[in-house]
Structure 1
């Protein structure tokens, strides 16, 4: 069913990094979500008011908020498809993250209001009329929501969109919440114990939990989570395929929305290579990364002195100094300026306990003790 809908309503559906295609996925998800949730909302509100169950009414209101979330998803993906402009040179892709955050806010608000109403119902319980049709409506709701959750999870996996994942998470939490309502209705039907208010509180808590999870997941790319190690590894693999590249470091990737990634990296080439050839190596690598990974890349070229015994001995001493301090430290961009100034970068894990100032002092002191003829300058890169 999902594949049928995608093939029917999304043109060029496999080209998921294309903004127009992503907009098509957003319209499909939003349209399906609006239809499903408005249907369930209508059925539950009618059933809830007839039976007098705050749990069913709350579940119906939750479906209404889900329909609103689908509208937000559609608008977010439509706006994110806008091309880059002077004010947004990297495009509008991050609007998808903002849309997902708005959805999470709506979910949290609905959950809070439902808990508030349910507490009032718990303090002043009212009779609930339970019937087979009411239970059938709730069971049908669980089945339909499970399909909707799987539908959006599939879209999220296919497009790597947090907006779809947020909607999928909301749908699956709805299944759990509705199941709780069903259980409480059955208890009341069989025993006479009115757990309607308690059911509403549990439903509200589930709703808020899913909202918090969606918000946490969405905030990570907005705050700047690290790039996928697999992507960084692929960039390095492409770089070292060129035999003229002696080393790769400082590989970074920044996401400006799903499918809109910019990367930068430093490559090392022999210092005897002519400038035009070095430029050609960098340009070729930039084109290769964009062609194979659909990532905009900027390549910086670093010259590396090769075949100099004195410089090689210096590198060996530096490696021993770093290993003596901590085995997790590594170096790159080693240069000698004016014959006596040694400059290099050191990669340091984020988890390394010492401060940058303390570590810099240790490295400089240890290296100058081994190489007293050099003035040492070190730059730390936390990785």
Structure 2
């Protein structure tokens, strides 16, 4: 199956299971006058609607690139996740408004053995469904499916608490429906906010996953002739479409043809291993003036805030030294850079220095 077909198949299974649970829980909730079970039914209904939106989003995201959208429509999946989060948030707020009064004016519930069995079965079904949907989502990198699976698993825990409250009501004649309804609604609201935050991070442009960044750089450094890989930047155009750029450091005496062959080799290697299209930039490895480079690295090593220095180059004719520096976001960046620049100038005053401010976006 293609990724889109897996999303559709998994979502259809979720729709069917949730609609069956909606029917059973609604009947039980109304028959027993249980607000908690009724809210559980409403929550299952929103789960089914979420699966429908996931299918629509996957279909639209699968459209081929065109003139107006050369990078494809993959980001539509993120919009579908935002809609799902909004639906879940609405359900949670509605549940809270309905449950709160029940704490002070509890309804009398009439549980039967059949109703309790249905709730117990629902717990098992939602647990299995949640694990299945989440696993598929993780396998195919579908944020919507992972969120849906997590929500289903959480529903199983909430339904289990409903079952416990029902048993307490039967044996101890204590009504926990209102309190339980409030707890359920708060959990739903929190889950929706977490889902919304995660999706918005992807849309805005979150930090590159550190593990992925390290793997890509390590793979590049495996290529003979590469001294280092720097400035990795990745751009997400959907769960299946990622492009980016990276600088590699190579000997300063390579010909244009040598650099062309090397950069093409790296681009193909990364695409085969990670399905990421990289644009390769070049830093020349300065083989001279090692004393300046060594002094600079020694000075920088005294500052824990300095994460990396690269792209070091000495232009003898211009009496100019250039290098890139990465300072931790949480540090007083300007102060740290000023101190380093002063120290290296004091050691080698015959040169001018151009410090290029770089950013830690991937490590």
TM-score range, shorter chain: over 0.9
Q: For 1:349-382, what per-residue CA distance to the aligned partner results, in whole angstroms no more than 9, with x for missing partners?
A: 334x213x32332222111111111111101222
Helix, strand or coil for the counterpart of 2:282?
strand
Q: 1:184 aligns with which of 160, 165, 168?
A: 165
Q: For 1:315-358, what per-residue CA distance to the aligned partner results, in whole angstroms no more than 9, with x for missing partners?
A: 1121122123447443211223443121111122334x213x32
Q: For 1:286-338, what per-residue CA distance to the aligned partner results, in whole angstroms no more than 9, with x for missing partners?
A: 111112221111101222232x3xx1112112112212344744321122344
User: Alpha carbons of 1:40 and 1:270: their partners in 2 closer, same or farther (altered >3 Å)?
Assistant: same
User: Which ranges in structure 1 are unaligned for 5 or more consecutive residues?
Assistant: 1-10, 12-20
CA shift, 1:197, in A, is 1.9
Q: 1:371 aligns with which of 326, 333, 348?
A: 348
Measured in 2, the distance between the counterparts of 1:350 and 1:40 equals 49
Structure 1 counterpart of 2:275: 294
User: Which ranges in structure 2 are unaligned for 5 or more consecutive residues?
Assistant: none
Structure 1 counterpart of 2:293: 315
Structure 1 counterpart of 2:136: 155
Q: 1:347 aligns with which of 326, 330, 337?
A: 326
Structure 2 counterpart of 1:332: 310
The answer to whether the aligner puts 1:218 opposite 2:199 as a matched pair is yes
Q: Normalising to structure 2: TM-score of the pair?
A: 0.93
Structure 2 counterpart of 1:17: none
* 1:1-383 correspondence to structure 2 within 5 Å: 11=1, 21-306=2-287, 308=288, 311-326=289-304, 328-337=306-315, 338-351=317-330, 353-355=331-333, 357-383=334-360
Conserved? CA contact 2:12–2:51, under 8 Å = yes
Aligned residues: 359
Measured in 2, the distance between the counterparts of 1:120 and 1:321 equals 66
User: Alpha carbons of 1:116 and 1:329: their partners in 2 closer, same or farther (altered >3 Å)?
Assistant: closer
Structure 2 counterpart of 1:18: none
Q: For 1:204-252, what per-residue CA distance to the aligned partner results, in whole angstroms no more than 9, with x for missing partners?
A: 1222232233223323322322222332223223322222222221122
Conserved? CA contact 1:100–1:163, under 8 Å = yes
User: Alpha carbons of 1:331 and 1:202: their partners in 2 closer, same or farther (altered >3 Å)?
Assistant: closer
